[in-house]
Amino acid sequence: MFPLQRNRRLRTNESIRSLVRETTLSPNDFMLPMFVAEGKDVKVAIPSMPGIYRHSLDNTIKEVKEAWDLGIKAVNIYVKVSDHLKDNKGVEAWNKDGLMQQTIRAIKDAVPEMIVMPDVALDPYSIYGHDGIIENGQLINDATVDALTQMSLSHAEAGADFVAPSDMMDGRVLAIRKALEENGHHNVGIMSYSAKYASAFYGPFRDALDSAPVDSQNIPKDKKTYQMDYANRIEGIREALLDVEEGADIVMVKPGMAYLDIVREVKNAVHVPVAVYQVSGEYAMVKAAAERGWLDHDKIMIEQLYCIKRAGANIISTYFAKEAAVILNK
């Protein structure tokens, strides 16, 4: 006797598969990370990230408008800081006329409805390439939190919709939330990089911003004293829960594909939206394999994005955002 349940009935053709599909994907799910550089009419290719560029502000606005027309509703901004502006305290990070602040204002002027989430971390501004202030060969937490708070306020004053602390300092979400409230920025949200792992997948990103840690005997050579051990699962859940208690509106898991178990665990634990960052190394691997003809680029790209969404992501920060949006819009 044949079984009463023939599961293949629901896979017969694309019409029925579409009708019963559990997960949907659209450009509304994407956030586009963008790299901004000083100058005018600048478009510098990032060799380890094919198709991704550092743009000057004028070209950044063109990119933002193109993303908006594709249905992408949010951008995550990172700036390439000139070496002469770097120091150990990141003072340039809260310069009201700094490149990040100029970029926020320009995007909100050009596309007011675009959600702007600037990165909050000191590594682009640090002479040591670390996410905080270094003293006696150690990254100090509380002074760094003070700097991040000033940085966040400057972003809010420039018009940011959310600030996005990616540093993994203890207590920074609460400090930022209190400062935003005390200064009248009640509607500025916080997207916290809550479960950010010390990953080797970040390499191309550091090429993009020239922000790798300095190789010195007196300075930590990696970020393992503040980014999380990739062997840990429960720690990621605890970090996300703490950030929600401190006032985070959105929590993020980073990286993406290799950490989908963490995405699902965090999604089950919190009652706020969950963002996932499909990072530079993940992007670069797909590009490299596709260039060699080993993988079908578009099929792999869409499959990975579906998998991230299926795991529980409400927002996917991905360098594939524009390419994927073109395909999904068809």
When pLDDT is averaged across residues 88-93 and rounded to a whole number, the result is 96
pLDDT of residue 164: 98
The C-alpha atoms of residue 323 and residue 233 are separated, in whole angstroms, by 32
- pLDDT of 214 higher than 80: no
When pLDDT is averaged across residues 221-244 and rounded to a whole number, the result is 96
The C-alpha atoms of residue 46 and residue 34 are separated, in whole angstroms, by 12
When pLDDT is averaged across residues 301-328 and rounded to a whole number, the result is 98
Q: Each residue of 245-258: pLDDT tens digit?
A: 999 999 999 999 99
Q: Each residue of 147-170: pLDDT tens digit?
A: 999 999 999 999 999 999 999 999
pLDDT of residue 107: 98
Is 196 catalytic? The answer is yes
SS3 205: helix
pLDDT of residue 211: 65
Is 287 catalytic? The answer is no
When pLDDT is averaged across residues 190-196 and rounded to a whole number, the result is 98
Q: How many CB atoms lie within 10 A of CB 249?
A: 16
Which of 108, 196, 223, 267 is flagged as catalytic?
Answer: 196
DSSP 40-106: SS-EEE-TTSTT-EEE-HHHHHHHHHHHHHTT--EEEEEE---GGG-BSS-GGGG-TTSHHHHHHHH
Measure Cα distances from 249 to 169, 191, 270 in Å. Answer: 17, 6, 11
pLDDT band at 43 (very low <50, low <70, confident <90, very high): very high
pLDDT of residue 6: 87
Which of 254, 267, 287, 309 is flagged as catalytic?
Answer: 254
When pLDDT is averaged across residues 28-52 and rounded to a whole number, the result is 96
When mean pLDDT is compared across 51-65, 116-130, 212-226, 256-270, the lowest value belongs to 212-226
- pLDDT of 217 higher than 70: no
**Phi, psi torsion values for 293, nearest 5 degrees:** 75, 15
In the block, tokens 């490299």 appear at 288
